[in-house]
């Protein structure tokens, strides 16, 4: 099945095209996406941990929209990168670790968005965040750092 | 340049980086974590300068900057490890020099902000419009930092361009 | 309470998983061959396969010694996107082409891999007339 995926025209093009606009661009867009997703998440997480208290958490809401678009970019580029080398990647345990970490991190992101909307919409800027918010923030930061680590280790394991 | 590279490759530090094979992947991981911090935190502030997130005061949007500086420090140190470990991969690689140029632009832009534009924006509160100079700084900053990222990622692919 | 518990248990499990993936890297184990930059290895033979692709291309060739013992070698090269600027195409190294290669040996015991190689015709001249014998830049890991 993976061998068939790898043999498709699209997968072959990604893998074998010598053009800078093929594989290199796909990989670069994947990095751009992760910079935005993890970066935006970090801004929200640091606020929930009590930094930049003059920012109202609810005012950070547009960051979630940005994260969704950047995530879609990474899901798309990720599929392209996967199919080009499906037989190898499907057999790498660290790839599944990465996907699991991303899945849980996304769950945290949605939970964080809900907390910001429900628990702190009218909070004055300097009020402390809920303990749940702070915990989610720590977990989120660790999960995304873990996802980045797992992603990088795919080149080695 | 080639003599300098040869000298660098012969140093104990360079050889240690090559010998201990876990150093490179570990530094790569730190480099990616650092870039996310810079893109996210600096990017957020730039977006405020441009005029998004208007409900946040400009000075408040800047308060996470120490974490971005921490991210940059991660990238500077891991970057030095790469340069010292395999200088030959960078010295003749045009993507590397474009990356350095982009870094210089980002730095210059930040310096211009600190010296001239900061004073015009520091007092701006929720709902306030930013001046054109601040918008320009924000746009240049985002472009410069993404350029740093793109040229960095392109390093293994653009290599023979000279 | 329930939510918090799940998060705490979940994060410990997840951190544990990440830790597990880190340990093999620290212990120098890797599926991808690492190469010893302090050593040199060279061999001569004929190409069996040329995988011209991203992110790493591979050239396979077979050498035989005086006793007729055949050894299959693997040379790891950079991405197709940059090899193309060396003047190479997927057709450059067809199976059967005679080559001589000198590079850094793989650390993996018992393997015959090399990277960062100088690849020439057996007489030492470039594969493509007037072209390069090495990649300008070796595949970074």
pLDDT digits (tens, 9 = 90+) for A116-157: 988 755 555 545 557 788 999 999 999 999 999 999 999 888
Q: Is residue C56 part of a domain?
A: yes
Q: What is the mean pLDDT of residues B80-99?
A: 92
Distances (CA, A) of B5 to A77, B9, B66, B144, C139: 36, 6, 34, 28, 17
- Provide the residue range defining the domain that includes C84: 41-120
For the residues B37-55, what does the mean pLDDT come to?
Answer: 97
Distances (CA, A) of C69 to A64, A118, C40, C66, C99: 62, 73, 21, 7, 18
CB contact under 8 A, A142 and C14: yes
pLDDT band per the 50, 70, 90 thresholds, residue C138: low
Is position C47 within any domain? yes
What pLDDT, on the 0 to 100 scale, is given for residue B67? 97
Q: Which of B148-157, C93-102, C132-141 has the lowest mean pLDDT?
A: C132-141
Average confidence (pLDDT) over B96-121: 95
What span, in angstroms and rounded, lies between the C-alpha atoms of B105 and A95? 36
Read off the pLDDT of each residue in B40-50 and give the average, rounded to a whole number.
Answer: 98
Q: What ipTM score was computed for the predicted complex, to two decimals?
A: 0.94
| Residue C59 covered by a domain | yes
Are C77 and C57 in contact by the 8 Å Cβ rule? The answer is yes
Is residue C17, in this structure, part of any structural domain at all?
yes
Q: What is the pTM of this model?
A: 0.88
**Closest CA in chain C for residue A91:** C31
**Nearest chain B CA: its distance from A106 CA (Å):** 16
d(CA A116, CA A114): 5
* pLDDT above 80 (res A61): yes
Looking at the structure of chain C, the number of domains it has is 2
Q: Alpha-carbon torsion C98, C102, C106, C111, what sign?
A: positive
Residue numbers in A near C30 (CB within 8 A) = 156-157
The token pair that represents C71 in the structure block? 């050894």
Q: Which of A19, A100, A135 sits opposite C7 (nearest CB)?
A: A135
Specify the residue for token string 């809401």. A61
pLDDT at residue C37 greater than cutoff 80: no
CB B126, CB B56: distance < 8 Å: yes
pLDDT score of A81 more than 90: yes
Residue C96: CATH number of its domain = 2.40.50.140
The 10s digit of each residue's pLDDT in C48-86 is 999 999 999 999 999 988 888 899 999 998 889 888 887
Phi, psi of C106 (to 5 degrees): -70, 145
CB contact under 8 A, B156 and C78: yes
Q: Give the minimum alpha-carbon distance from A115 to chain C in angstroms, rounded to a whole number.
A: 12
Tell me the longest C-alpha to C-alpha distance in chain B: 57
CA distance B35 to B75: 7
Of the candidate ranges A111-120, B17-26, B108-117, C9-18, the one whose mean pLDDT is the lowest: C9-18
- Mean pLDDT within C31-45: 76
Whole-number pLDDT of residue B126: 92
Burial category of B127 from C-beta neighbours within 10 Å (exposed 0-12, middle 13-18, buried 19 and up): exposed
Residue C99 lies in a domain: yes
Please report the pLDDT score of residue C17 as a whole number.
Answer: 59
Q: Which whole-number Å values give the CA distances from A67 to A74, B33, B68, in the listed order?
A: 10, 16, 18
Q: Of A33-42, B141-150, C7-16, C107-116, give the lowest mean pLDDT range.
A: C7-16
The answer, yes or no, to whether the previous bond of A140 is cis (omega within 30 of 0) is no
Place of tokens 């915990």: A135
Rounded distance between C-alpha atoms, residue A95 and residue A101, angstroms: 10
pLDDT band at B44 (very low <50, low <70, confident <90, very high): very high
Which residues in chain B are closer than 8 Å to A56, comparing Cβ atoms?
Answer: 55-56
* Dihedral over Cα of A14, C78, A95, B28: its sign: negative
pLDDT at residue A89 is higher than 80: yes
Residue C104 or residue A34, greater confidence: A34
Using DSSP bridges, classify how beta strands C57-64 and C41-51 pair: parallel, antiparallel or unpaired. Answer: antiparallel
How large is the C-alpha radius of gyration of chain A?
A: 18
- Whether C35 is covered by a domain: the verdict is no
Angstrom distance (rounded) from CA C40 to CA C37: 8
Beta bridge partners of C118: C102
pLDDT band at C26 (very low <50, low <70, confident <90, very high): very low
Cβ(C80)–Cβ(C92) under 8 Å? no
Amino acid C107: pLDDT? 84
For strands C41-51 and C98-105, give the pairing.
antiparallel
Chains touching B (at least 3 CB pairs under 8 A) are: A, C
**Percentage of chain A modeled with pLDDT above 90:** 87
Question: Residue C110: inside a domain, yes or no?
Answer: yes
How many of the other CB atoms lie within 10 Å of CB of C91?
8
Indicate the range of A148-157, B17-26, B149-158, C124-133 predicted with least confidence. Answer: C124-133
Give chain B's mean pLDDT: 93
Distance CA B65, CA B68 (A): 5
Under 8 Å between Cβ of C34 and A117: no
CB contact under 8 A, A24 and C15: no
Arithmetic mean of pLDDT, C124-137: 75
The structural domains of chain A, with segments of one domain joined by +, span 2-11+32-153
Task: Tell me, rounded to whole angstroms, the distance of Cα B143 from its chain centroid.
Answer: 11
Same domain, C51 and C90: yes
User: Looking at CA atoms only, how far is residue A1 from chain B in angstroms?
Assistant: 30
A123 CA to chain B: closest CA distance, Å?
Answer: 14
Residues C3 and C57 in one domain: no
Residue C1's pLDDT is 47
Who's near A118: CB < 8 A, 6+ residues apart?
Answer: none
Q: Alpha carbon C3 to chain centroid distance?
A: 47
- Please check whether residue C20 lies inside any domain of the structure: yes
């Amino acid at each position: 099945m993976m061998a068939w995926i790898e043999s498709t025209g699209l997968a072959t093009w990604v893998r074998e095209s010598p053009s800078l606009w093929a594989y290199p661009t796909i990989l670069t867009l994947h990095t751009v996406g992760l910079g935005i997703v993890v970066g935006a998440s970090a801004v929200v997480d640091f606020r929930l941990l009590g930094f930049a208290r003059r920012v109202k958490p609810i005012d950070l809401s547009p960051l979630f929209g940005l994260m969704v678009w950047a995530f879609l970019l990474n899901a798309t580029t990720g599929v392209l990168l996967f199919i080009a080398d499906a037989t190898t990647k499907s057999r790498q345990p660290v790839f599944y670790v990465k996907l699991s970490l991303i899945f849980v991190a996304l769950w945290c992101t949605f939970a964080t968005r809900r907390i910001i909307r429900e628990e702190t919409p009218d909070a004055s800027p300097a009020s402390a965040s809920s303990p749940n918010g702070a915990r989610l923030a720590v977990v989120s930061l660790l999960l995304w750092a873990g996802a980045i680590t797992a992603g990088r280790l795919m080149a080695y394991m | 340049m080639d003599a300098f590279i040869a000298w660098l490759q012969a140093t104990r530090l360079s050889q240690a980086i090559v010998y201990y094979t876990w150093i490179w992947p570990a530094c790569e991981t730190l480099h990616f974590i650092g870039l996310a911090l810079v893109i996210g935190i600096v990017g957020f502030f730039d977006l405020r300068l441009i005029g998004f997130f208007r409900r946040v005061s400009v000075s408040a949007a800047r308060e996470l900057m120490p974490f971005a500086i921490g991210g940059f420090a991660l990238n500077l140190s891991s970057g030095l490890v790469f340069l010292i470990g395999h200088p030959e991969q960078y010295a003749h690689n045009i993507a590397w020099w474009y990356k350095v140029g982009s870094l210089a632009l980002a730095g210059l832009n930040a310096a211009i902000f600190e010296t001239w534009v900061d004073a015009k924006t520091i007092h701006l509160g929720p709902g306030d419009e930013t001046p054109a100079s601040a918008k320009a700084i924000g746009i240049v900053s985002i472009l410069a930092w993404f350029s740093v990222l793109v040229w960095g990622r392109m390093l293994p692919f653009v290599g023979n361009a000279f | 309470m329930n939510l918090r518990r799940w998060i705490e248990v979940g994060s410990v499990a997840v951190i544990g998983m990440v830790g597990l993936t880190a340990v093999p890297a620290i212990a120098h184990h890797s599926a991808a061959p690492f190469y010893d930059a302090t050593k040199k290895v060279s061999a001569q033979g004929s190409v069996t396969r040329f995988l011209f692709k991203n992110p790493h291309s591979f050239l396979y060739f077979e050498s035989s010694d005086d006793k007729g013992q055949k050894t299959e070698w693997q040379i790891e090269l950079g991405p197709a996107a940059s090899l193309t600027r060396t003047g190479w195409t997927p057709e450059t190294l067809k199976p059967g082409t005679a080559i001589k290669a000198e590079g850094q040996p793989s650390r993996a015991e018992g393997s015959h891999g090399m990277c960062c190689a100088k690849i020439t015709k057996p007489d030492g001249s470039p594969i493509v007339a007037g072209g390069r014998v090495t990649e300008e830049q070796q595949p970074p890991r």
